[in-house]
Each structure stands twice: as structure tokens, then as C-alpha cells.
Structure 1
Amino acid sequence: MSSQTSQDTLGVSVEYVLNAIQEFSASENPSSFLAVNEGNSYFALPGRPGVIVYRPAGDFLIQFGGPFAPAASYVDLVRAFADHATARGRRLAVIQLQRRDAEIYAGEGFTVNQVGASYAVDLTAFTLAGSRYMQLRNKISRALRSGLTVVEADYEQWRDGVDDINTRWLPLKGEGARPLEYLVGQTGGPMQKHRRLFVGHIDGEAIGYVSYSPVYGANEGWMHDLSRRLPDSPAGVMEAVNKAAIDVFRSEGVPWLHFGFTPFTSLSDEREVPGHSLGFKWLMHHLWENQVVYPASSQLAYKQKWNQSLVLTEYAAFPGRASAEGFVNIWRAANAM
């Protein structure tokens, strides 16, 4: 490590992290607000602006995104955090790097590979007109005819309904399923005031919701984050909630609606960076084709309904050689294993 002494979570406030993701948005990470999730750990260099976000998993430190930092301290943070992990007997794995991050990490000796993509809709040109969207329009109409009302909701007023949906939604994911963490957002807590919540209800009973997180940078807007519904809710509830949110965002002049990271999707040779691992590349394609870790195809199908116009490739990075064990621990940090 450099002669500067690092500081970890105890010396970095969540307010500092929030300021960093708002101010230093050059990496254009649409999921940057996940940096302020409760349960995250933080690394910084005293006197140097910027922060790295991570969680421990097994023998690894799992870093979320690149440093949220200006160019002057970005590489110093990359190097110092790698040394920080080594000094503590931990290995390092990085997830959800953007293209600019990926190129810098590759230049620092990391092996960097595609792991999926995130998607966004240009709300200034958004439309559901035409035969292509007839099925989606019909699905939304049926949900509304069932008595569904969609409101932008105050979280505290709808907390019980949200909690009930969360409890009853999880069994939909299969026996033994656990709620994902780290790479998805949260509801409640001190950062809730920065999010927006849209709830679908019938006669006052919440049956589905979508939580939206702010997105900073050139493609600023909102990210469609958590979306959950009751098992017996009518078909089209989530689509109706999202369409209502889109109408509100467009009326406010919001330019982009992001749909977040989907693993194993939009993989292509053109998006790889120099020095990538051929074995890790094969693994990502295998996981897409077999859907054994994550239901990527169903997630992608939902996102493609909305006529996305921006695809952002996301990457994983490992010091030295690519690590399958590191990738497993990324999913462990996300509570998927």
C-alpha cells in the first residue's frame, strides 16, 4: 500500500458515500445508489476524495463497481484497496464495473470479463403505441379492469403493505429461496427519502410495488429496482405499476428509466476488453444458455417489453487471473448462495 493509511467503514459515513456517488459519476454506473445500502462496507484514503464499496464473502472482499472518485484519486484507490485486501489475507473480486472502469482495471493488471448488461429506456421518446406493444397494453388494461389503482406512495404509510408483499412474494421464487442483497436495492432506512415508491392496490390492500432509485450522471433518471407482488395478484400488476411511474416521470421531464443489471445477458465479442479470460467468457455463456444460477432470460424478457434504447455492458474483474471461486463469492455476497 502507499504510505497513506487507509480507513474502512468506521471512518466513512453513508452521507459521504452518497455525496461521492452524486459528485463523481464519471463511471456512469446506473446502479450507483446501491452503494448506500445498509450492510455495505467502505474504503477511503484520508485526504483523497472518493470511496470504494465492498462486502466480505468467504475469503474474498467483493467490491461493488469501480471507485466513486475523481480521476485524480481513482487509480490510487484501485491500488490501495487491492493492497488492503492482500494485507488482510483476503482475495478481491469486483462486480458491475462499467466500460470506463473495465479499461482502467485491465490496465492495472486485472483480468476483466463481461458478466452481463444493464438496460435503459429513453423516456423522451417513449411510446407503447403500435402493434409491437399490443400485448403489453392489453395486459395493463386487464390489471386495471380488475380494480387495480396505482399511486406514488409514502413508504411509512404503506410499510405494512410492503412488508406483507415481501413476506408472501418470496415463495414465488421457489423452495429455499432467499431475498437477494447487495446487488439489488432496499426499502426503508435513512436512504428511503431518496427513493420513490409506486404501489398497486385494490380497495386499499397493497398487492404489488416497484421501488425506484436515483441514477446520477449523463444518463440521469430513475432505476426500476425492487419489484414484488402478491402470489395471487392479477396478471399485469407489475407492468401497470411501472407504466404509471413512467407517466409520472415523463411529466417531470425525467430523461431515462433504467432497469438495472441482468447477469449473463448481451454478451458479445465486441464488448470484451483486451486480456479477458477465455475460460471465464465460456462460463458466462454457459450460465446464460443453461440458466442454472439466475433466471436471466425471464428478467431480460420483462425489461425488453419496454423498448430499451441503451445497453450498458457490465464487467467483473480479478487481480491477476480470473477466479471462478471469486465469482461464486460474488453471488454469496448477494445472498444467492
Structure 2
Amino acid sequence: IYYLLPLILAASSLAAFEVSRRAEGLMRLATNVARWISMFAPQLFSFLTFVAGVVLLFSGATPAENDRLEWIKEFLLLPVIEISHFIGSIVGLGLLLLARGLQRRVDGAYVLSLALLGVGIVVSLLKGFDYEEALILMLMLMLLLPSRSYFYRKSSLFARSLSPAWIVAIAVVLGCSLWLTMFSFKHIEYGKELWWQFEIFGDAPRSLRAGAGAIGVAMVLAMWRLLRPTSPEPTLPRREELDRVSPIVKGCSSSVAHLALLGDKEWLFSENGRAFVMYGIAGRSWAAMGDPVGLKEEWKELLWQFHELSDRHGGWTVFYQVDAENLPLYLDIVLSLLKLGEEARVPLTEFSLEGHANKPFRHWHRKPESEGCSFEVVAASEVARLLPRLREISDVWVEYKNTREKRFSLGYFHEPYLLRTPMALVWKDGKIIAFANIWATDDHEELSIDLMRHLPDAPAGVMDYMFIELMLYGRQQGYHWFNLGIAPLSGLDNRIAAPFWNQLGTFIFRHGEHFYNFQGLRQYKEKFRPVWTPRYLASPGGVAVLRILTDIATMIAGTDPKARQA
């Protein structure tokens, strides 16, 4: 005791010290493990539930042990055995169907799966004392029982159709079950009278009735689905419907939500209408622009709704430029993540023209003013009278740049859209020479601009001048951040062990200046000393990513032949 007790105390103290010293790392590890389990647990339970359904159907298709039937007939009436056998196969079919609901994290599928597993355990014992089968189902029930938190979706089980892959899988299981019945009783001569034989050792007629019952229920459900009204096709919003989203957009903390006011994208609203996804379609890609907009509590279900909508139309679910803090939501719907670049946001509480470090800002600000430039912000209600001049500047700018209007992730000169936002103007000699429409959030979290145009003969540095004036304006109005937008492919990790996309993106960022000024754009935004935050693409992985990026580029370029305008 003189040696062992001090050794135990010393080891315990050392272990406690090491745990406390590494508490942060252990908490981070625990968080990552919990996130990983949350992502894969529904897939695992879906698979196990499907297996449980297969076990019950195959058990119903094969003969029971005669010695067990001999023993059980002393305790149970024949109708109980017959009904239990029939119900077992129906429960098996139900578990096959519910497995898809568990994969989609539907709470109703969780509750019904627990109930059917419980019923399956009982009927497995009653139809022939199949305790091995009952133990398998009991194990699955015990694993599923404490996992309620993974199944949070308040969605109808019948609101979504099964995918073709699930339909094929269920059809294969039912076909195999029927074949197993025929094989197990190949020595039996089949006839009409066989269906109506009820006896303790009548395994063949029991299996036929159970198999026919499962197939019959499956056919009834299939016919019911076919006769239901089809879901409406996505349509572009009408102009009067923009009034519905405008308050949601203004109440959002992200200025990017203003892209919804363009009217060039479809909307999918949450059940309560307090959040929506804005998206476009090109090829097979159903691409949502950014994170959902609106009440965050409704995002989870809304993401699943969008995922199922695109899946129902044979499309790929894509979310373009999503925030890092929301990535777990996209992992929940089994999407892969790809870093697109980094977004620049200037903290306005720290922005100033004072001090030695801000001398470049003062220079960029004073030079255009010395040439007679002045800055003004006009309210949205005053924009209408300025539209002819703004249209003139925009047309000259587009022609001078030898480009065309972009879409989807960028705004374009669309008068109904411009009438909904304030406008930043630069004047010279009594005429407007540059303008930008302003994105401003009602909670004063973020300020940004979208469409920025100027005349080719405007003084050099007019863009810098406008940015500085807007930042000063935002700080004066109490905004926290000024969003300068994303720098594509910047901030990608180029280590040897980095994913192929990171290495390819870094190579393009460094050597692709002939096609796009990647480094120049990053350097331009860097001079305002922003905080850089990553932005991601959430989509199916693999080779589909190349097609998806091509589809998104098509939407942004506005070259999709099927593109529609509001």
C-alpha cells in the first residue's frame, strides 16, 4: 500500500493535469466526432432498417422449424400464428419504405420505425419462435431508441416520392422474396386450394399469403402515388411577388440576400414563409445562391425541401458561396464541400482616414475631390428620375469593357431592381459620372454594393474614392461591416497532402491571369485591410463538380439558352 497508493495518486494527478492542459483540443475533437456521427448516423440507421425489412420478408418466405412449431402450438391458437406470419411480411415492407425516411431524417419515420421494429419482434416470436430474428430486431431497436436527436425534420412521410434507386432496391427485395418462396417450396404442387389451407405445419400457403400481401400493399401504395397530383414546376417570381421577399431580405444580416430582388431566380419558401432559397437551373444543376435567407430556425427543413425538389427532377443540389459557419447544415444533406475563395469584409468601426497607416486612404480620397468630384447617397424613392442618366453610363461602360451583363451571383442593369435600393453617386461638373446601387441590411450588420459603373473618362481612382466614401458613410450610419465581395480561388491550401481541387485552384490563381485577374482582384481588395472569410460550394462530389461549375459559370455569364428573365 505504501508504494501502490502513491503511484495511483500520482498517475491520477498526471492524467488530470494532461486532460486539463489539452481540454480545448479534446473538446474540439469531441465536437468533430459528434459532427461526424451526426452526418453518418441517419445513413447507418437507414441501412439497418432496410436490412431489418429484408430479414422479415425473407423469414416469411421460408419454412419455420417444425420442432418449434410443435412446441408453440401448445400455447398459441392457429389464427395467431397465421396472422403473425402475414403481419411480419407487411412490417418488413414497411421497414423498407421507412428506411428512406430515416435517411432524410424525418421524425415520423423514426417513430414508426421504432413501432414496426417492436411489432416485428413480437410477430417473430409468435409465428414460429424465431428468437434469432427477434434478437436481431431487438438490437436494431436498442441502437435506434437513443438516437432521437438525429431525426428532427417535421415533414410528411408521403410528401416526397421514392427515388428510382430506392424503388429498384425495394422491387429487387420483393422479387427475391418471391423467388425464395418458390425455391423453398419447389416440391409443393401449387393450386387454387393451396391459398386456403390453414394448418400448423402449412408453411407453403402461409408464405404465399404473406408474400402476396406484401406485394399487394406495395402495388396499392404505388398506385396511390401515381394518382396523386404532380408537384408544380418551379417558376420565376412575378414582379408583384417581390414585395413578399423584400421584408425578409431587408431583415437578413447578409447583404447578398438582395440578389433575390433581381427576380431572375426561382424561390422556394419554407412552410411558414419566413425563409426562402433563391436558385437557378442550368443543365442538371439546381444551384442556390448563397445560404437560405430569413429565419435561421427554418433553414434545416428548407434545405431538405430544396434537396428533395432537385432530386425529384433528376437534378444536382448545389449551394454556391455558402458561409463556413453553416457547413454542418450541408453535411447533413450529404453534400460535399469545396472552397471557392475568400470574401473580404472591412470592419467599419476601425475604418478611418486618420493616422499614418491610413495615409493611402487620404490620398485616394482627396485626389478625385481635387478634380471636382463629389459624393452623394440618394434614397431608393429618388432613383427613378436618375435612371436615364444611369442607363447611359451603364451602356457606355458595358461597351467600353467589351463585356455583357452578368447574372445569378451578380446584379445587372434591371430598372425594377435598381428602384428598390439606394444609390451611391459620384458627380463632376454637375453630371453623374459613376454610380453603384447599395445593399444595406436593416439591422446595420452589413453594407455593400452590387452594380458599379463609371464613364471611361472619369478621373483615375474614382472607384477607390467611391469605396472610401461608402465606408465612411457606413460607419457614420452605424453599420458594422462593408462587404467587398469574394476573391475567387484565393486562400486555398496548396500543401502536398491538400485535395486535388485546392492544388488546381491554387495553380489557376497563380498562373491564370490571362483568363481572369485573380491575384489582381485579391490585391485590390487587400489594400482596404479587410477580414477574409472562406466561402464554399456545397454539392455532390466526384466528377459531377466539373459539370456543376460549368453550369454555374453559364448562369453567371447569362449564356444559358433556357435562361428566363423576370
> What range is the shorter-chain TM-score in?
0.7 to 0.9
Of residues 529, 539, 545 in structure 2, which corresponds to 1:323?
545
Match of 1:214 among 434, 437, 440: 440
How much has 1:167 moved relative to structure 2?
1.1
The 2-side partners of 1:258 and 1:83 are apart by 32
Moved more, 279-288 or 184-193: 184-193
2:508 is aligned with 1:304? no
C-alpha deviation, 1:316, in angstroms: 0.4
2:383 is aligned with 1:155: yes
Please give the alpha-carbon distance, in whole angstroms, between the structure 1 residues aligned to 2:537 and 2:552. Answer: 10
8 Å CA contact 1:197, 1:209 repeated in 2: yes
Any conservation in 1 of the 2:237–2:263 contact (CA below 8 Å)? no
- Give the distance between the partners of 2:404 and 2:359, measured in 1 at CA: 35
- Higher alpha-carbon deviation: 64-73 or 113-122: 64-73
Output the CA distance in 2 between the equivalents of 1:105 and 1:269: 24
Q: Are residues 1:38 and 2:259 paired? A: no
Matched residue type, 1:299: L
Partner of 1:116, secondary structure, is strand
Judging changes above 3 Å, is the alpha-carbon distance between structure 1 residues 3 and 298 closer, same or farther for their aligned structure 2 residues?
A: farther
Q: 2:435 is paired with a residue of what secondary structure?
A: strand
Match of 2:404 in 1: 178
Q: Distance in 2 between matches of 1:48 and 1:152?
A: 33
CA distance in 1, matches of 2:290, 2:158: 25
Q: Which deviates further from its counterpart, 38-47 or 222-231?
A: 38-47
How far did residue 163 of structure 1 move? 1.2
Q: For 1:209 and 1:47, how far apart are their aligned partners in 2? A: 38
Question: How far is 1:266 from its partner?
Answer: 2.7
Structure number having the greater strand percentage: 1
In structure 1, the gaps of 5 or more residues are 271-276
**Contact 1:165–1:207 (Cα < 8 Å) also in 2:** yes
Could you tell me whether the CA contact under 8 Å between 2:278 and 2:289 is conserved in 1?
yes
1:202 aligns with 2:423: no
2:158 corresponding residue in structure 1: 3
- Call closer, same or farther: CA 1:216–1:65 in 2, change over 3 Å: farther
Relative to structure 1, the CA distance from residue 108 to residue 291 in structure 2 (aligned partners, 3 Å threshold; closer, same or farther) is: farther
Q: How much has 1:320 moved relative to structure 2?
A: 4.2
Structure 2 unaligned segments of length 5 or more: list them: 1-103, 105-156, 161-230, 560-566
Note if contact 1:55-1:61 (Cα within 8 Å) is conserved in structure 2: yes
* Rounded Cα–Cα distance in structure 2 between residues aligned with 1:142 and 1:250: 22
* Candidates 327, 351, 354, aligned match of 1:129: 354
Q: CA–CA distance in 2 between the matches of 1:247 and 1:188?
A: 27
Shift, 1:84, TM fit: 1.4
| Structure 1 residue 188, shift from structure 2 partner | 5.5
Greater mean deviation of Cα atoms: 127-136 or 249-258? 127-136
AA matched with 1:182: F
Q: Deviations over 1:42-75 (max 9, x none)?
A: 1235446421110112332221112225454322
- Aligned-pair distance for 1:232? 1.6
Q: Identify which of 378, 392, 397 aligns with 1:164.
A: 392
**Residue 251 to residue 95, structure 1, CA distance change in 2 (3 Å):** same
> Given the alignment of the two structures, is residue 142 of structure 1 paired with residue 367 of structure 2, yes or no?
yes
How far did residue 190 of structure 1 move?
A: 4.4
What is the correspondence of 1:279-294 to structure 2 with a 5 Å cutoff?
279-289=500-510, 290-291=512-513, 294=516
* Cα shift readout 1:108-139 (whole Å, capped 9, x = no counterpart): 21111110122212222211334444344323
Per the alignment, do residues 71 and 205 of structure 1 end up closer, same or farther by CA in structure 2, a change over 3 Å counting? closer
* CA distance in 1 between partners of 2:407 and 2:390 (Å): 17
Identity %: 19
RMSD (Å) for aligned C-alpha atoms? 3.0
Q: 1:17 to 1:282 in 2, by over 3 A?
A: farther
SS at match of 2:353: coil
Higher relative contact order (CA 8 A, sep 6+): 1
- Deviation of 1:293 after TM superposition, in Å, equals 5.1
TM-score normalized with structure 2 length:
0.52
Kindly indicate which of the two structures has a greater share of residues assigned to helix: 2
Q: How many residues align?
A: 324
Q: Amino acid of the residue matched to residue 407 of structure 2?
A: E
**Contact 1:201–1:208 (CA<8 Å) still a contact in 2?**
yes
SS at match of 1:307: coil
Question: Match of 1:273?
Answer: none
SS in 2 for 1:66: coil
Is the deviation greater in 225-234 or in 288-297?
288-297
Whichever residue aligns with residue 302 of structure 1, its letter is Y
TM-score by length of 1: 0.83
Contact residue 210 and residue 238 of structure 1 kept, 8 A: no
